[in-house]
Structure 1
Amino acid sequence: MESKQTHIHIEKIKLLYMHSLIPIVLSAIAGLFLVAALWKLANRQQLLIWFGITLLLALMRIVIISRFKQANPQGTDVLRWEQPFAISLLLVFLSWSVGLIWIMPRDNLTAIFILNTFSLGLAGAAISWYSPLRYLQIASVSLALVPMIIVLLTLGYDQTFWVGVAACCMYVSCIITSILLQKTFNGNLELAYDLQQAKMSAEDMARTDALTGLNNRRAFFDKARLLFDYCKSNQQPVSALMLDVDHFKNINDSFGHACGDMALSSLAQLLKNNLRESDVLCRFGGEEFAVLLPNTRVSEAEEVANHLKRTMMNSTIILAQENLLSLTASFGVTDFGETLEDLLSHADKAMYSAKNGGRNHVVKYQAE
């Protein structure tokens, strides 16, 4: 599982891809309006060349976004898409930054102020649309304003000089705004992440036995029912195994409930280590455990139960004050039952037959 910061960074990249199509379209429309505004004031050939470049870059960005959505990357795979997004975006702002200066007629104040207005609008768009990643936001704002500011300050007109000074103030304001927005944005993402983790933790606690870390009854029935139905619909065998620790009350009476809890926790780990990942194990209640064994015949379930019985007998649990304890259990197995509840009921009956028959052995359910 990725770290908190990595998760937040991934979410930022996703947000950029999700919301970048609109600014691409608006950028192309703004370019068209700029060409129309300068058609009689600037070199038309330069205008058309610049507009063609901006359209090609817009098309490139649309292709990148489309490929991202088709690939639908998950987890850390999203990180590989940050670089193409950043490069394509900065190329767009570079085309506007250098392009506006290139098409600017130096002797026409009207055209100069029109271009300055578009530069300010471009900076505002960068703050609005690219706030998830601060370096992209600041780089975009800088490309939009810094070259234009330099030109305004060095053109030699009093009017452009003071507009350049005002643009400098605007640039500083944009950077400060960018930093403040980034802090707020990061705070919101971190809060959303913490809430999501808290929800997942609460859901996990509601489905996990606190003592053993195994599935509780609720989680067991949810998982086992899906697996049981799948096996039945695909004509695959499915068996149930239930076990109850023998004379567990004596352990609590002799060593105390804390040692009894330690014994159950150790037994849970032993069972988990000796079952398949596909098996569904749970603490059914008290010292009783249940296992659903998919794609398993009852004869195979008996072998599993006998293996667990031998492993328990050959294993020792270290309790408080260095007391050693070896557990035994009574096992019931079956593959007979049209429903999950019937299957478990039959396994439970077989388990009690094992307890009544002397304990520490395995009984297979016999249909009446």
Structure 2
Amino acid sequence: MHPLARSLPDDASPDLALRVRADQLHLLFRQSFPAVYISVLVAAIVCQTLWGEVRHELLLGWLFVLCFCSMLRYTLFRQYWKCQPQGLQILDWEKPYALTLFATSSFWGLGMLWFVSESTLLYRLVEFLFLLGMSAGAFSHYSARRYMVMGAMTSVLLPTTLWFVACGQPMEVSLGVAALLFIGVLIQAGNAMSAAQADNFRLTYRLEAARQKAEQMAHTDELTGLENRRAFFEQGQVLANYCERKRLPLSVVMIDADHFKQINDRFGHAIGDAVLRHLAVQLKESRRKSDICGRLGGEEFAMLLPDTPLGEAMVLAERLCRACAGQTLRIDGETVVNTVSIGVASEGYTIEHMLSCADEALYQAKAAGRNRVMAWSDQDVVAT
């Protein structure tokens, strides 16, 4: 079964929004790991390019800090993949991810601002090209989360851009204005991409919810919420085969609501449906986790009891029979007596044959006056 087999939230629920955030963060961890190495590699190329232009101690200090931040990010990624968080637990890693990302991108932006202030015009152009490339890289790696991509791009590019605008020189001002436009375009594109990915995740959850609903409708009786006839036979035979392999006893209990046609004729089908729903509740309360319980049709129900010999199945059936007889139902102002007749069998491991035997015992229980339990054996039907 799918790990989201529990009921899925609708589109407007806060829980769905958290799941989408967790999926986006997981996608960030998957797609942004190469950025850890790329950041260090490009920083080394920058240092080599500016080696004759900027003070060496400044370049090496900046490179050392970036390597340290990248090592922190590398450690975070390693821990994440080692822990393999699932579901909403992924969100616990969001804050460390954001802190290490913004620390690295901020040192990129502040370091390049320092280099620009010490460089000639030609090298400023070169440095500006490096910044544009890093901003584009931030867009490609962090677009899964809107605030991540906006924060990474602006912290890398904005310090130098503002310096260019404030510099007052025509060339630098032109570069600054162009950079501001570039930032605006990337932010808009990042918002659109992040929204599209969020919509894709929401669509995935909607499709999963629809698939589960269709699967549930195919295997669940709509009126009672129990397994329908098809599901009872499919799941029942799997359970029967398991019991046969393990040499475990297997019993089946068939339950029929007494005088159900008279209840429908006297009180109407709405009251009859309420009686069946109440009987289903009684069956659910009587069943064990390993049992299979279903509505075979009309007022007929069945329970399949693994690792249960005939005697124990009879005890359970008697308890169910007494529970139903001991309750007088008040439904829409009407008083309804809801007794049941039950047939029990423990013969072989073929569902059809076991149900046939239990049905014969059930027929004898109804013929003997109803509101009782009968057990089938290969010799005769045994009354209790």
Alignment pair present for 1:307 and 2:319: yes
State percent identity of aligned pairs: 34
Number of the residue aligned with 2:378: 367
Shift of 1:104: 4.1
Shift of 1:110: 2.6
Alignment pair present for 1:25 and 2:44: no
- Cα offsets for 1:78-118 (capped at 9, x unmatched): 22121222222222212212232344462322322222122
Alignment pair present for 1:223 and 2:235: yes
CA RMSD of aligned residues (A): 2.4
How do 1:60-139 residues align onto structure 2 when only pairs under 5 Å count?
60-104=72-116, 106-139=118-151
SS at match of 1:139: helix
Contact 1:105–1:111 (CA under 8 A) maintained in structure 2: no
SS at match of 2:255: strand
Number of the residue aligned with 2:182: 170
Q: Please tell me the residue identity of whatever aligns with 1:25.
A: Y
Q: Please tell me the residue identity of whatever aligns with 2:142.
A: Y
Q: Please tell me the residue identity of whatever aligns with 2:191.
A: I
TM-score normalised by length of structure 1: 0.90
Shift of 1:36: 3.4
Number of the residue aligned with 2:192: 180
SS at match of 2:65: helix
Shift of 1:210: 0.9
Shift of 1:341: 4.0
TM-score normalised by length of structure 2: 0.86
State the alpha-carbon separation in 1 of the partners of residues 38 and 233 from structure 2. 53
Shift of 1:39: 3.4
Distance verdict in 2 for CA 1:338–1:187, change over 3 Å: closer
Number of the residue aligned with 1:356: 367
State the alpha-carbon separation in 2 of the partners of residues 202 and 68 from structure 1. 35
Distance verdict in 2 for CA 1:326–1:62, change over 3 Å: farther
Contact 2:105–2:155 (CA under 8 A) maintained in structure 1: yes
Which stretch of the first structure deviates more once superposed, 14-23 or 136-145?
Answer: 14-23
State the alpha-carbon separation in 1 of the partners of residues 352 and 65 from structure 2. 68
Number of the residue aligned with 2:214: 202
Shift of 1:226: 4.1
Distance verdict in 2 for CA 1:106–1:319, change over 3 Å: same
State the alpha-carbon separation in 1 of the partners of residues 315 and 204 from structure 2. 48
Contact 1:54–1:95 (CA under 8 A) maintained in structure 2: yes
State the alpha-carbon separation in 2 of the partners of residues 221 and 110 from structure 1. 80
Number of the residue aligned with 2:261: 249
Shift of 1:283: 0.9
Unpaired segments of 5 or more residues in structure 1?
none
Q: Please tell me the residue identity of whatever aligns with 1:161.
A: V
Alignment pair present for 1:325 and 2:332: no
State the alpha-carbon separation in 1 of the partners of residues 238 and 84 from structure 2. 28
Q: Please tell me the residue identity of whatever aligns with 1:32.
A: A
- Cα offsets for 1:213-267 (capped at 9, x unmatched): 1111233334334444444444444322221112211122222222211211121
Shift of 1:346: 3.2
Number of the residue aligned with 1:272: 284
State the alpha-carbon separation in 2 of the partners of residues 44 and 345 from structure 1. 91
Alignment pair present for 1:240 and 2:252: yes
Number of residue pairs aligned between Structure 1 and Structure 2:
367
Contact 1:8–1:193 (CA under 8 A) maintained in structure 2: no
State the alpha-carbon separation in 1 of the partners of residues 304 and 72 from structure 2. 53
Shift of 1:44: 3.7
Shift of 1:288: 0.8
Shift of 1:31: 2.7
Which stretch of the first structure deviates more once superposed, 242-251 or 124-133?
Answer: 124-133
- Cα offsets for 1:2-35 (capped at 9, x unmatched): 6222222222122112222233333333333333
Distance verdict in 2 for CA 1:69–1:216, change over 3 Å: farther
Q: Please tell me the residue identity of whatever aligns with 1:152.
A: F
Number of the residue aligned with 1:14: 26
